[in-house]
Every structure is written in C-alpha cells, then in structure tokens.
Chains A and B, each alone.
Chain A
Amino acid sequence: MNLSAKQKRSLWQDHFGITIAAGQYGVALAGNPNVGKSTIFNALTGLHQHTGNWPGKTVDNAQGGFQYQQKSFLMVDLPGTYSLLAHTVEEQIARDFLCFASPDVTVVVLDATCLERNLNLALQVFEITPNVIVCLNLMDEAQKKRLKIDVQSLERELGVPVVATAARQGEGLIELQEKILQVASGALPTNPRQILYSPEVEKAVEHLLPMVGSIANNTLSPRWLALRLLDGDRSFLDSLSSFLGVNSCWEGARCAQ
C-alpha cells in the first residue's frame, strides 16, 4: 500500500498492536514452520522468543528491534506457515500482515534441505509484495545431505536477493542485515518472479482484472486480488472489507475531489 509514514504507523498500531517508531523500518519474517525463523529472529534482535508456538495468535507478541548502520529496524516474526492460502488462523494472520501492513521488507526464510516445498511460500509472498529477501537457511544441513544449491542462479530465477545462512552458527547474518537495509532504503531494487498459472487461470484473471482495480484503491496488487477471488476465499474478503472500512476516509476524500 502506498501509505504515508504516519498512516502506516497508526495502521500498525490499530490493527496489529505494533508500535513502530518514526523513521523505523518494518521488517516481516515469514517462513515454513521449523526452518530456523526464530533462531534468525533471536540472533538479530537479541531476544529469546519461543516463536515455535505462536502465543495469543496476534503479531504483537513476536517483535523486536535492531540497529544496523545507524538505522533502526522493527522485526515482526510471523507464524510459520506452509502457504498463504489462509486455510488456518496462522496463515490468515501472516497473509493479512503482509497484505495490509505492507512492511518495508519481508524476509522469507527457506529451509535449504527442502527447497522445493519452501519455495511454494516464497512465490506466494512475491505475489503480495515486491520488497522481499530470500534467506536460505540451514545451509550447513543441506551440505551434510550433499545438496548443492546454486545461490546465484536462484537469485536470478527469483529476482530478489538471496542470502545463504546457517543461523545456528551465526553465518550470513551480517549479509542478511546489509540486504535488509539496502532493500528497505530502496538502494537495491527487486523484481520478484511472478507465478505463471495455466492458461485457464490466466484467462479468468484477465477477465476479473478490470473490476478489481477499483475495489482496493489500487493499494493491493490487482492480480493478487483477482486470484483470491478465483480462489473463492471468503476470509480474505472479510479481512479486506474490515481494512477498507478503516481506510474509507481516504476513499471519501478521493471521491470528493
């Protein structure tokens, strides 16, 4: 969403219970369960969060700040999910945060030992927000399993920065922070690969596109909206109308012009 910094701060506060300071970058941490997300979160923020179990099912429980190069970052650890298709409460929380809070950077943590399964989530995140960094964690485990991942090619395939880490050993975390800063400040442009669906899906999306642009004030990717409508995802519709309701003042303002 293209919100002003102030609008964004109040949105984070009202809807997610997260207080973000002026000038602080918001960083979301997404990933499958058990990929070492909490290890990365703890290593960067210096907290000791047991993020495996998501307490209270709200995002304000797992947040922590860190400084890098005199810049301040607020990191929000999202529940571990396999997808964002919102079949579970956790998936819904993660999706709503990425969608409506529009963090400055989203770090998708992948388990390098099961790349295929983990990429599924990454591609879904790419559909929602362009500002993504992929963190390829558990590289040490992958090496033990004699899996060789070509990080440069992966970066090219995905169109976003890929950082290889072994968070338990503390490897690659400085580079991760550097990339977070670069993407957050806009110094490093990203162009995430978009999922190419089969022709019948693409045709249906095409058909719905002209209609969806207006409903969210172009604040959400119209393509993604069309896909959710094809999904028949009611929970998303509920979230959407709840968030649009809050922001209807801008709608009114725009109409008045």
Chain B
Amino acid sequence: MGIRFIKEPELINPVMIACWPGIGNIGLIAVDNMRRVLQAEEMAYIEPWDFFYPSRVIIHSGEIREMQFPASMFYFKKTGERDLIFFIGEEQPAEGGRVYAEGSKAYAMANLVLDIAERFGCKRIYTSGAAVAPIHHTARSRVWVVPNSKALLPEVKKYDNCLLMSDIEGRGGQGNITGLNGLLLGVAGRRGLEAVCMMGEIPVYLQGFPFPYPKASKSVLEVLTSALGVPMEMESINGLAEQSEFELSSLYEKLPPEIKEQLDRLKQVLIATENNAGIITEEDKKKILEDIDKFFKKEGREEQH
C-alpha cells in the first residue's frame, strides 16, 4: 500500500478537500468540478492494488494491453494564500461486495489520505456527500454540515444555506455519514485535524437510482467556496444542474398521475424537519418509493426493446 508522487509542490497553509462516490455522486461532482475549474494539477496517487479489483481490461488482437484500476488521485492548486489539495477517489474500497467502504481497507485508505494532508501541513479537511431529504427536485438543495469537533460549530453555523443535524427536528443532532466521506472525519479527529463534511440534499425518491444529482453539488460548491474564500466561476456546475433538472423534469412528466400527485406534496416542504410528517408519512414514503421503483423497472424494460 503506497503513495506515488507525480509532483511534490511547496504549499502554503493548504486545506484538503476529499471525496469518494456516493448517493447521486453529489460530493464527487462538486469536488471534481472545483478541481477542474481551478485547473488543479496532478500531485500523487494511491497505488490501487491492495484496495481495488480492476475496473477495465483492454484487449487488442487477443492480447491484454492494459488493466485499469479505480484511481485515487491527489491534485493541488496554489492560490497564494491558502493552497488547496484535492483528493478524488473513483471508488470506495469496499469489502464483500458492499458499495461503501468499511473495515480495515477503508481505515487504511483514510490514513493514507491523511498522511498526505499532514505531510503538506493541512490543518483542515473537507469531505462531501449526500443528505437524503424529503424535498422535491425543483427545490434548492440545502447543505447539511457536520464537523468533527464542537469547536467548529460556531463557524459552520454561519455558513449560508446550511443545516446542522440538530436543526432537523426529531434527530436530536444524531445521524450517520456512511463510507469514507464520513470515516475520514473520525480518523482526522484522532490525528487532531479539523474536518467538516458537507452533504447536499437529494430528494428521497432519487436516492436509490444511479442518477447523478448535480443540483445538490452546486449547493455544496457554493458553501465550500464561500467557506474557503476561493472565488470560482459556477458556469460549469450551473450547466450540469440545469441539464439534470431538465432531464428529471422530462422523466417526471412520464410518471403516473397518482405518483406525481404524491411527489408534488414535497413541493410544500421548505424545511426538512420531522414536522413534514403531515405532508408525507412514512407509509406514503414507502409506497412512493415502491411505485417509483416499479415505474423505473418498467421504463428500463421498455428501453431495452
């Protein structure tokens, strides 16, 4: 298990922004968009062998020419005052067929990522993921923020368009952040590093589908760039968000009227609280998800023909 360097830049007061795939690829799209727009340079990568099964083989004329593995890349961007390190993992090192990382490999990867953070003097790490919420896809996604220490609460409370777990009534400040986007916060805490996870809201009815949800990535980027004080053009993420909303709206129009009627009730949700129980009950939610699942399976079959 090792790290290979492409470049070893001198960085000033850097902050790390790390991300792996998850629901709607919200964090991944946000962080990858940021590193592209800022034209961050390749810095290092984690050797994949011990973490991943190969993702692709290329065979030419009966001979194996290339075996590709999911990449785990570090990038850097010099900004002058507060440099940035990006880490983007194409896959979580899951064991036993699970989607999200857990166990010794996840812990090992978290430590390798933080080794780089410490080597370059990072004191703060950001990760990003998804928050499944009872919202409609036409609504602006908010961002749930979870820091790894109480000392960070006053700061994160000031972020615009954000919620703490305790703002969601009935949760009592409790919750889970699955996989490496969460685990990294815990491991960072053990090393005395500050860390914050930013989770963009995704409508509850989209959580089980393999669609990206860049609308929430846009919300994450707005909060992240503001927290970092790094200005960034948002044209590219706006384009992705608009395209996604257009596609979702087209699909939405095809939904059976009874499902659409149920989902339209989510348009009334302004704040993701348990008070919304009057708008959509747990039973409604289960039925909606089942109906949508059936609908998409049917659509899939039709598309195959």
A and B interact: no
Footprint of B on A, CB under 8 Å?
A: none
